[in-house]
Homo-oligomer: A and B are copies of this chain.
């Protein structure tokens, strides 16, 4: 079945509010196995609403509209739809009483324009709104269906799930379709390189689709398998996942929706390891990401942002001569920072960053984007050097991601 989505409101057309209802409806409809054919936004305007509805009816089997059901003068959706199809409006007494009851219950002052919310085009069926005063409706037009829900996301979401989708399934009964998906999260390869490595896989014959989603600085891959048989969908998805995994092995850090810091949290907790962090160029971002996970106080003992050389020397015990000879941005300094913070905090692990986020501070030998990352335990210290090319903020983000990725590989013994 083909779905059209129409979000209605001047606040969308002047960019004051970014539409979130459309992506919610699209995501949920996809998971029902339906195709979202078109997504559109339109202003609170009679002619424009009629025009978009006509166009969407030519493309789809059902249209889900949101917005413009409130009591104020610029809320014209119900009237515009009635007018578009030459239907009179009727008042639903049950709905009117329901709205009046809410006003009484919460001691709101009744304003007459609220009656508007109890008016519907002839032939429409009311969809209740458990979270607000404005109900929605379902209007059959030439064997197709037009649904309308309010623009308020919390109200719209509940009504889509509990009112719109059941009505759609009833009106357009379909073969049982099983849809399973898997997200594969990677770091360290560009989008084109990821694509290049998996392009020989015959996803079509598996009935699997692949999508690439850059979420800076990561690249996520989403595999979706569809079949009338649950086991087949599962089997095909697993096979596609195995093929992708074989080609991207060293760049994958998670299957599913786990973040990199959550993966690390899992390993540190399972192995009962503690860690301390010493940061220069990342300015606290590594510690901040590690503490995005609830329970991180169990493994993160402390973090130091040793921005000045004095702090590197006095707190981490990096000898002044080393900094003078090799520079604060150097493999030697990174290693001593990781070892120093580990010793200071008495933790199992130490993690350190030193680099040049930019835009100033670079030179020919060590340009902006240069970073040295080190991780140390009681047996060894591993250091990596990378050269990125972003602006200050993105450099900090990619330095941080690379540090966490190095830590994860170190913890899994994959760093050699």
Is A90 positioned at the interface, with any CB of B under 8 Å from its CB? no
**Least Cβ–Cβ distance between A154 and chain B, in angstroms:** 9
Q: Which one of B52, B222, B307, B345 contacts A300 once the chains associate, using CB atoms below 8 Å?
A: B307
Q: Which one of A26, A284, A291 has the highest number of Cβ atoms from chain B below 10 Å of its Cβ?
A: A284
Compute how far the CA of A381 lies from the CA of B153 in the bound complex, rounded to whole angstroms.
Answer: 39
Is A14 positioned at the interface, with any CB of B under 8 Å from its CB? yes
Compute how far the CA of A199 lies from the CA of B360 in the bound complex, rounded to whole angstroms.
Answer: 44
B213 touches A17 (CB 8 A): yes
Compute how far the CA of A291 lies from the CA of B308 in the bound complex, rounded to whole angstroms.
Answer: 12
Is A19 positioned at the interface, with any CB of B under 8 Å from its CB? yes
**Neighbouring B residues of A108 by C-beta, 8 Å:** 190
Q: Which one of A55, A286, A302, A393 has the highest number of Cβ atoms from chain B below 10 Å of its Cβ?
A: A302
**Neighbouring B residues of A17 by C-beta, 8 Å:** 23, 213
**Neighbouring B residues of A59 by C-beta, 8 Å:** 51
Compute how far the CA of A191 lies from the CA of B401 in the bound complex, rounded to whole angstroms.
Answer: 34
Is A214 positioned at the interface, with any CB of B under 8 Å from its CB? yes
A193 touches B291 (CB 8 A): no
A15 touches B24 (CB 8 A): yes
Is A297 positioned at the interface, with any CB of B under 8 Å from its CB? yes
- List A27-79 residues whose CB lies under 8 Å from chain B: 27-30, 36-43, 48, 51-52, 55, 59, 70-74
Compute how far the CA of A95 lies from the CA of B144 in the bound complex, rounded to whole angstroms.
Answer: 48
Compute how far the CA of A254 lies from the CA of B74 in the bound complex, rounded to whole angstroms.
Answer: 24
Is A364 positioned at the interface, with any CB of B under 8 Å from its CB? no
A283 touches B294 (CB 8 A): no
Question: Which one of A109-117, A226-234, A242-250, A318-326 contacts B?
Answer: A109-117
**Least Cβ–Cβ distance between A32 and chain B, in angstroms:** 12
User: Number of contacting residues on A, CB 8 A?
Assistant: 97
Is A11 positioned at the interface, with any CB of B under 8 Å from its CB? yes
**Least Cβ–Cβ distance between A394 and chain B, in angstroms:** 9
A160-194 CB mask vs B (1 if < 8 Å, else 0) is 00000000000000000000000000000011110
State the number of copies, please.
2
B292 touches A282 (CB 8 A): no
Compute how far the CA of A70 lies from the CA of B73 in the bound complex, rounded to whole angstroms.
Answer: 44
**Neighbouring B residues of A36 by C-beta, 8 Å:** 13-15, 43
**Neighbouring B residues of A19 by C-beta, 8 Å:** 18-19, 22-23
**Neighbouring B residues of A24 by C-beta, 8 Å:** 15
**Neighbouring B residues of A23 by C-beta, 8 Å:** 12, 15-19
**Least Cβ–Cβ distance between A156 and chain B, in angstroms:** 13
Q: A18-B19, A301-B311 in contact; A113/B196 too (CB < 8 A)?
A: yes
B288 touches A193 (CB 8 A): no
B18 touches A20 (CB 8 A): yes
B387 touches A107 (CB 8 A): yes
**Least Cβ–Cβ distance between A291 and chain B, in angstroms:** 3
Q: Which one of B15, B196, B211, B212 contacts A27 once the chains associate, using CB atoms below 8 Å?
A: B15
**Least Cβ–Cβ distance between A222 and chain B, in angstroms:** 7
Is A238 positioned at the interface, with any CB of B under 8 Å from its CB? no
Is A146 positioned at the interface, with any CB of B under 8 Å from its CB? no
A360 touches B295 (CB 8 A): yes
**Neighbouring B residues of A286 by C-beta, 8 Å:** 284
Q: Which one of B52, B106, B212 contacts A387 once the chains associate, using CB atoms below 8 Å?
A: B106
| A residues with CB within 8 A of B | 10-20, 22-30, 36-43, 48, 51-52, 55, 59, 70-74, 105-109, 111, 113-114, 152, 190-193, 195-196, 199, 211-214, 222, 277, 279, 282-288, 290-292, 294-297, 300-308, 310-311, 315, 345, 357-360, 387, 389, 392-393, 396
- Ranked nearest first, the 5 interchain pairs of A and B with the lowest CB-CB distance are A15-B27, A283-B291, A303-B305, A284-B284, A284-B287
Q: List 27 A-B contacts (CB under 8 A).
A: A10-B211, A11-B211, A11-B213, A13-B26, A14-B26, A15-B27, A16-B213, A18-B19, A19-B19, A40-B41, A70-B191, A70-B192, A71-B195, A73-B199, A74-B212, A106-B387, A111-B193, A152-B214, A282-B288, A283-B296, A287-B307, A296-B307, A297-B307, A301-B307, A302-B306, A302-B308, A303-B304
